[in-house]
């Protein structure tokens, strides 16, 4: 059995994953192909965080960190990926900016996954779940 190699080149995914959805899985597949392993970083953003001009709309986080991790693992298992082999999940603070001052040995890449995938929205998914009664607000 292969094990996640902490020294191997790795691609990072940073987000709230509220909830993990097909668009996230499609991005994961694309970036996993780059290095063979991914570090999924989960921003720990409490439900009562207020949005601001720099980070608008970050105040709707109904899934706690353990639910987020479970949803990621279930979603990626359906795609044939294995936790701690193909990816790790790392809880991080509420990161709102990634800054650098010069060449630092990594790049930033935006992946165009097509209009159909880009149209998938966790905001829309949460609204649908609330309308169906499968998601209650946690306050």
Q: What is the pLDDT of residues 89-98, one digit of tens each?
A: 999 998 888 8
Beta carbons within 10 angstroms of residue 72's beta carbon: 24
Which pLDDT score, from 0 to 100, does residue 15 have? 93
- pLDDT digits over 35-86, tens only? 999 999 999 886 666 666 666 667 788 889 999 999 999 999 999 999 999 9
> In this predicted structure, which of 12-16, 76-80, 90-94, 114-118 has the lowest mean pLDDT?
114-118
Task: Give the angle subtended at the CA of 112 by the CAs of 85 and 6, to the nearest 5°.
Answer: 25
Average pLDDT over the chain, rounded to whole?
87
Which pLDDT score, from 0 to 100, does residue 57 have? 64
Percent of the chain with pLDDT over 90: 50
Which pLDDT score, from 0 to 100, does residue 139 have? 45
| Prediction pTM value | 0.82
Q: Pick the closest to residue 125 from 27, 28, 19, 15 (CA basis).
A: 19
């Amino acid at each position: 059995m292969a094990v996640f190699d902490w020294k191997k080149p790795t691609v990072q995914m940073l987000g709230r994953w509220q909830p993990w959805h097909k668009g996230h899985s499609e991005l994961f597949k694309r970036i996993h192909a780059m290095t063979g392993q991914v570090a999924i970083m989960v921003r720990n953003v409490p439900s009562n965080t207020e949005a601001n001009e720099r980070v608008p709309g970050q105040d709707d986080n109904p899934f706690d960190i353990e639910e987020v991790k479970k949803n990621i693992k279930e979603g990626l298992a359906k795609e044939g990926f294995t936790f701690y082999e193909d990816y790790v999940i790392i809880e991080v603070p509420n990161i709102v900016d990634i800054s650098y001052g010069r060449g630092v040995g990594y790049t930033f890449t935006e992946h165009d996954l097509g209009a159909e995938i880009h149209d998938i929205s966790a905001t829309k998914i949460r609204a649908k779940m609330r309308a169906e009664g499968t998601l209650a607000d946690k306050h």
